[in-house]
Chain A
Amino acid sequence: MALTLLRGMRTPVSLRSNTGLFFNVLRPRLSHFTTRAESAHATEPKAVPKSIQLATKEAAEQKTQGFEAIIGIETHVQLSTVTKAFCSCPYDYGSQPNSTICPTCMGHPGTLPVLNEKVVECAVKLGLALNCEISMTSKFDRKQYFYPDLPKGYQISQFDIPIAKKGYVDLDLPVEFGGGHRKFGITRVHMEEDAGKLLHSESGSYSQVDLNRAGVPLLEIVSEPDMRTGIEAAEYGAELQRIVRYLGVSNGNMQEGSLRCDVNVSVRPVGQSEFGTKVEIKNMNSFSEINRAIDYEISRQIMLHKEGQADQIVQETRLWDESSQKTFTMRKKEGLADYRYFPEPDLPEVVLTTDYIDEISKSMPELPEAKRRRYENMGLSMQDVLFLANDDNVAHFFDSTLEHGADAKLACNWIMSDIAAYLKNEKLSIHETKLTPLELSELIASIKNGTISGKIGKEILFELIAKGGTVKGVIEEKDLVQIADPAAIEAMVDKVIADNPKQLEQYRAGKTKLQGFFAGQVMKTSKGKANPVLLNKILGEKLNAK
């Protein structure tokens, strides 16, 4: 990302108008997807060397000198309800085109929408999680435009009375990016339906319509223009992803299009109160891309300002192109689009009761922000806190390990190092392995009480994580109990010393580093089971005994 920023700023700004890009690039490729958490800091920061980070930061500061960026984000979250928003069709990402459709979601004559109550439940959950005011009475409206993926010629959405509004989200920036707590405003959350997809032919001479996705419920979350940098925007998106996953309302998967961010960026001289002309950026498929696209766009706009060409910043939609690491004009907006919103006459108002909201409120899980504060109070470092709270499966695993009596720091270390490495290698999520929180706590306890060594502990961990079973079972089965009997260790030490007279001589001649060699030999003899502290103590005594 850092290099991108610099490269972006050196590249002459291209304003080429390429409408064809829209059809080629807009939709994410179908074949690539993952179910892993996609937080910007979970994948990015560790790879970025410190020196470059600092250089970037300085460069960025230098380049933005005298200007500030204003960033607002519209996020679409696809809800993982069993059926669509207004009909009883299921939706499965990746199923055969036009296999999950019915007259209603195809917009056939005479069909009517019937609201899936789960959509309202999800909206209220998310509204509460984002600290919003929930509208006791809201309504649906029609947003009208023609496009082949929009069967009715209008999208059922919410216009002037969204189900939730005036909220905020708390988050912590990754330590690698300087850290710090942020609070960003949420303007509104509203319910709407998704459109279908166009599949364009290779030749570009025709397009096909797939309506599987038409009518799938979405929540649109509109942020206040509170963000100032790419990383803030990316972290805002990552926090929304965490929240929807914690709530279980969406899989939040960006590659599948379950979570889509459209970003508005404008730049203004520091001290100016009115906003500059905003540009919308689309087509970012990860938070890291959001980060880079925004930083590129900011530098592009600042450069235009500095070159006295601020009038070339026009209200338009630009697409992020991952291969060239730039944004390109997709379409210039001729004034504001007129969607001719009016109240949806086919659906009654959505009227909620306080009982209903209370009920949902009570069922809410602990959210990422609360988790982070709780972990922080346990004395864990911010790096640990962010890692654990990033994925609710990991957090849940961690919490449940602690419930079985494990020490927080030790449990955290195991999860963040060996377990995380294994998960990354095997492309698994923590709940998909055979390791249980109970066994991890047993493992930690067994090391603590000296039954096994830390080294043996690792071996057992990999056994458990791959094959399952219990710590006790593995210890017994493999005869791994630590040898803590001084007499037994002494016997092994004696044997090793006796077997290596040459090394003993060298040691006694002053080459004391050789203690390591002896320790290794003893450990080998014990098949790794000797208590290392005891071993070193006895070995030292023996070697130094004249």
Chain B
Amino acid sequence: MPPPLQAHRLLISHRRLPTPARRRLTAVSSLQSAPATTLAPGPATSSILSIRESLLSGERTAANITSDYLSRLRRTEPSLRSFIHVADAAAEREAEELDRRIASGEKDAVGPLAGVLVGVKDNLCTKNMPSTGGSRILDGYRPAYDATAVRRLREAGAIVVGKTNLDEFGMGSTTEGSAFQVTTNPWDDSRVPGGSSGGSASAVSARQCVVSLGSDTGGSVRQPASFCGVVGLKPTYGRVSRFGLMAYASSLDVVGCFGSSVFDTATILSVVAGHDKMDSTSSSQDVPDYTSELVSLDLLESKPLNGLRIGIIQETLGEGVDTGVVSSIKGAASYLEQLGSVVDEVSLPSFSLGLPAYYILASSEASSNLSRYDGIRYGRQVSANDLNEIYGESRANGLGHEVKMRILMGTYALSAGYYDAYYKRAQQVRTLVKESFKDALEKYDILISPAAPSAAYKIGEKINDPLAMYAGDIMTVNVNLAGLPALVVPCGFVEGGPVGLPVGLQMIGSPFSEGSLLRVGHIFEQTLQNFSFVPPLLAER
């Protein structure tokens, strides 16, 4: 990775991108019909910064900003169903309290996330607010504590506006696996938002909240980010504490962030990242201010990515990948070249092995992690005549189909006589995957690929074909097996829906290289022309 761009250096030699670059970029995209919206087209701007500025200048009140978001939420929610629980009254109260503190001139009233409405995936525990994990077995469950990531957001002044929908316990790629509701895609309400963090992606895409937290075990932040046209970050394993995240597969789970801009995403990461004594697998590596390396558009030089070596993963552009997605990614790649980087194709030989290994490891850990949902201490308990019946009935009624299937698969894989053939072998594959990424990341600063083999598909399309749904995770699961950070930024559109469907570019880096990924993602986002990733839903009024 070249040294981060320094603002002072840029001041001396900043130049706008040459026009030809912009033109060529629009040419490579298969579909460039950026929807006309009431929100101005052009590069994404930071909502967090503008909220902060208007609060500090007194231009707007937190109550005012909150009411803006809440009225948009109320208008769009009937069709989107992003939230399992909306804490609107609490949000309004917190906003008013913030205004009072600002008015009384309280020092530090305006924290880094003051007045910022966040959506929190419902598998993250929130104190005194329902936390169901999208499962009936936790219907009505209210944790006694905040997840560390949530606590840190709140301490920075953020307002939790509600709990977003997800596939039950994070198991799924469409959010159809929620026990409560199906969330739709803001770009086309007949399509899925992706999953499992579909509610968090959809809520940010429709500006129901400013930013949101998700979790990513095999792609659950990146794929919905791609489907919904928002920025999604899967941090390095251990970068963000998992304390308070309902475990799906502990060795793969990470808490991730969604924003409508790279800057917002970086801001959230800076707040939630860092060691937590409650999570022994959290890293004690220093947390930089991820926004400090992000340079505004007018300060960028003409080839801001000069010297950057990018590998485009061969195996992600072949058979089974939507041609529109392939051309969007290739278009993005050549645009990255125009920005000064060198892009080569790179092969990861173990790439195709990752998917089966992932499903064995994730299911194995899940079968263990979900044992605690037994109806004894909390959540739903079915009354029964004996102990086995309590267990059996509580779990049969409380857990959904996909979850049961994965528990069965995992139980099988860990059983005596099968352990070596499945779990142990999958661990060996995991080691191979790690090594092949390591090799590739010695040659390249960043690897790129699609975040999913297609854009958002129709609700119900894959609901009865789990293998087809699992295959959709091919782009993302290897990154979890290797524990690497990956950023998804919207890069184009494919045909579909009323105005086209967004496609996300996945950028993968070495462990703890979130800063570099965000810097490159920011440059890409800020200079990309003629696309607006604001869904048509918002233009309706």
Q: Are B423 and A146 in touch, CB under 8 angstroms?
A: no
Q: Does B251 lie within 8 Å of A345, measured CB to CB?
A: yes
**B133 and A109: CB pair below 8 A?**
yes
Is the interface on chain A under 10, 10 to 19, 20 to 34, or 35 or more residues? 20 to 34
- Taking a contact as CB atoms under 8 Å apart, the answer to whether B371 and A153 are in contact is yes
Query: How distant is B278 from chain A, measured CB to nearest CB, in Å?
Result: 6
Q: A148 contacts B247, CB within 8 Å?
A: no
Q: B144 in the interface, Cβ–Cβ < 8 Å?
A: yes
Closest to B147 in A: A110
Interface hit among A111-119, A371-379, A495-503 = A111-119
A45 interface residue (CB < 8 Å to B): no
Q: Is the CB of B372 within 8 A of A152?
A: yes
B408 within 8 A of A: no
A47: CB under 8 A from chain B?
A: no
Binds B, one of A100-108, A231-239, A381-389, A393-401: A100-108
Given contacts A151-B377, A209-B377, A340-B414, contact A109 B372 (CB under 8 A): yes
CB 8 Å contact bits of B269-293 with A (1 = contact, 0 = none): 0000000011111000000000000
A342 at the interface (CB under 8 A from B): yes
Chain A residues with CB under 8 Å of B141's CB are: 109
Of residues 412 through 434 on chain B, the ones whose CB sits less than 8 Å from some CB of chain A are: 414-416, 419, 423
Q: A473 at interface (Cβ–Cβ under 8 A)?
A: no
Does A348 sit within 8 A of B, measured CB to CB? yes
Whether A103 contacts B371 by the Cβ 8 Å rule is no
A109 — nearest CB in chain B belongs to which residue?
A: B246
Q: Is B365 an interface residue (CB 8 A)?
A: yes
Given contacts A112-B279, A153-B374, contact A103 B144 (CB under 8 A): yes
A146-158 vs B, Cβ < 8 Å mask (1 yes, 0 no): 1010011110000
**CB-defined contacts of A148 to chain B, threshold 8 Å:** 374, 376, 387
Instruction: Give Cα A108 to B251, complex, Å.
Output: 19
Q: Are B145 and A112 in contact (CB under 8 A)?
A: no
Contact of B247 among A110, A336, A341, A342 (CB under 8 A): A110
The residues of B that contact A151 with a CB separation of less than 8 Å are 372, 376-377
B111 interfacial by beta-carbon distance below 8 Å: no
Cα distance A123–B371 when bound, in Å? 28
Q: A144: CB under 8 A from chain B?
A: yes
A61 interface residue per 8 A CB criterion: no
Residue A347 lies at the interface, judged by CB distance under 8 Å to chain B: yes
Task: Give the A-B pair count, Cβ closer than 8 A.
Answer: 103
A340, B424: Cα distance in complex, Å? 13
CA distance A148 to B250 in the complex (A): 23
- List B residues 217-266 near A (Cβ within 8 Å): 242-247, 249-251
Determine if B143 and A103 form an interchain contact, defined as CB atoms under 8 angstroms apart. yes
Whether B371 contacts A152 by the Cβ 8 Å rule is: yes
> What is the CA–CA distance of A153 and B281 in the complex, to the nearest angstrom?
21
Chain B proximity of A105: nearest CB distance (Å): 11
Q: Are A108 and B277 in contact (CB under 8 A)?
A: no
Partner of B280, one of A146, A342, A346: A346
Q: Is B391 an interface residue (CB 8 A)?
A: yes
Tell whether B44 is near chain A: CB-to-CB under 8 Å.
Answer: no
Per the 8 Å Cβ criterion, residues 110-145 of B in contact with A are 123-125, 131, 133, 138, 141, 143-145
Evaluate contact between A342 and B143: CB separation under 8 angstroms.
Answer: no
Chain A residue, CB-CB nearest to B423? A342
- The DSSP consensus for interface residues of chain B is loop
Contact partner of A110 (CB less than 8 A), chosen from B244, B414, B419, is B244
Q: Are the C-beta atoms of B280 and A348 separated by less than 8 Å?
A: yes
Closest to B242 in A: A112
Question: Measured between alpha carbons, how far is A107 from B143 in the docked complex, in Å?
Answer: 12
Asked if B378 is an interface residue, CB under 8 A from chain A, the answer is yes
**A-side contacts of B391, CB under 8 Å:** 146
- In the complex formed, the residue of B with least CB distance to A211 is B377
The answer to whether B26 has its CB under 8 Å from any CB of chain A is: no
B281 contact from A146, A154, A340, A346, Cβ within 8 A? A346
Contact check, B144 vs A342: say whether CB atoms are below 8 A apart.
Answer: no
A110-B125 CB under 8 A given contacts A151-B377, A338-B415: yes
Kindly identify, within residues 194 to 236 of chain A, every residue whose CB is under 8 Å from any CB belonging to chain B: 209, 211
Determine the chain B residues whose CB is within 8 A of the CB of A108 once the complex forms: 143-144, 372, 377-378
Bound-complex Cα distance A527 to B45 (A): 105
Nearest A-chain residue to B238, judged by Cβ: A348
Chain B residues contacting A345 (CB-CB under 8 Å) are 249-251, 281, 365
A520 to chain B, nearest CB (A): 74
B178 contacts the other chain (CB 8 A): no
Tell yes or no: A142 within 8 A of B by CB. Answer: yes
In the assembled complex, the CB of B394 is this many whole angstroms from the nearest CB of chain A, namely 11
Known: A146-B374, A148-B387. A109 touches B125 (CB 8 A): yes
How distant is A454 from chain B, measured CB to nearest CB, in Å?
A: 62
A110→B372 contact, CB < 8 A: no
Residue contact A144 to B376, C-beta cutoff 8 Å: no
Q: Is the interface of A mostly helix, strand, loop or mixed?
A: loop
- Check if B411 is an interface residue, CB within 8 A of chain A: yes
Establish whether residues B278 and A114, one from each chain, have CB atoms under 8 Å apart when the complex forms. yes
The reply to whether the CB of B208 lies closer than 8 angstroms to some CB of chain A is: no
In the complex, B327 has a CB within 8 A of chain A: no
Contact residues in A for B449 (Cβ distance below 8 Å): none
Residues of A327-370 whose CB lies within 8 A of B: 336, 338, 340-342, 345-348
Please tell me if the beta carbons of B243 and A111 are within 8 angstroms of each other in the complex: yes
B368 CB–A CB distance under 8 Å: yes
Pairwise interchain contact B416-A209, C-beta atoms closer than 8 A: no
Contacting pair B371 A347 (CB below 8 A): no
Residue pair A110, B371 in contact (C-beta under 8 Å): no
Contact: A342 with B371, CB < 8 Å?
Answer: no
Q: Which of B243, B249, B372, B416 contacts A112 (CB 8 A)?
A: B243
CB distance from B76 to the nearest CB of A (A): 29
How many Å from the CB of B349 to the closest CB on chain A? Answer: 26
Cα-based distance from A340 to B411 in the complex (angstroms): 8
Q: Bound complex: CA of A244 vs CA of B263, how far in Å?
A: 58
Verify if B205 is at the interface (C-beta below 8 Å from A). no
Residues from chain B with Cβ under 8 Å of A106 in the complex: 377
The answer, yes or no, to whether B526 is at the interface (CB within 8 Å) is no
Query: B364 within 8 Å of A by Cβ?
Result: yes
* Nearest B-chain residue to A152, judged by Cβ: B372
Least Cβ–Cβ distance between B152 and chain A, in angstroms:
15
**A115 CA to B279 CA in the complex, in Å?**
10
Task: Say whether, besides A342-B414, A346-B280, A348-B281, A110 and B377 are in contact (CB < 8 Å).
Answer: no
- Are the C-beta atoms of B376 and A154 separated by less than 8 Å? no
Contact B372 A153 (CB under 8 A): yes
**In the complex, what distance in Å separates the CA atom of A346 from the CA atom of B249?**
10
Question: Do B280 and A110 touch across chains, with their CB atoms under 8 A apart?
Answer: no
Which of A108, A152, A347: most chain B CB closer than 10 A? A108
Complex-state Cα separation, A112 to B144, whole angstroms: 14
Q: Which residue of B lies closest to A146 (CB)?
A: B391
For the complex, what is the distance from the CA of A355 to the CA of B109, rounded to whole Å? 49
Of B143, B365, B374, the most chain A CB neighbours within 10 A belong to B374
Q: Is the CB of A110 within 8 A of B143?
A: yes
Q: CB within 8 Å of B: which of A55-74? A: none
Closest residue on chain B to residue A106 by CB atoms: B377
In the bound complex, residues from chain A placing their C-beta under 8 Å from that of B125 are: 109-110
B 397-416 to A, binary, CB cutoff 8 A, 1 in contact else 0? 00000000000000100111
Chain A CB within 10 Å, residue with most, of B131, B250, B371: B371
Q: CB distance A113 to B280 under 8 Å? A: yes
Distance between A51 CB and nearest chain B CB, rounded to angstroms? 51
Q: Chain B: which residue is nearest A101 at the CB level?
A: B377
Give B contacts to A, CB under 8 Å.
Answer: 123-125, 131, 133, 138, 141, 143-145, 147, 242-247, 249-251, 277-281, 364-365, 367-368, 370-374, 376-378, 387, 391, 411, 414-416, 419, 423
- Sample (7) of A-B pairs whose CB atoms are under 8 Å apart: A108-B378, A144-B368, A148-B374, A152-B371, A340-B368, A346-B280, A346-B281
Given A110-B242, A342-B419, 19 further pairs, Cβ under 8 A: A103-B144, A108-B143, A108-B378, A110-B123, A110-B245, A113-B280, A114-B278, A114-B280, A144-B368, A151-B372, A153-B368, A154-B368, A338-B415, A338-B416, A340-B414, A342-B368, A345-B251, A346-B281, A347-B281
Which 7 residue pairs across A and B have the least CB separation, nearest first?
A: A153-B371, A345-B250, A345-B251, A340-B414, A110-B244, A109-B246, A107-B372
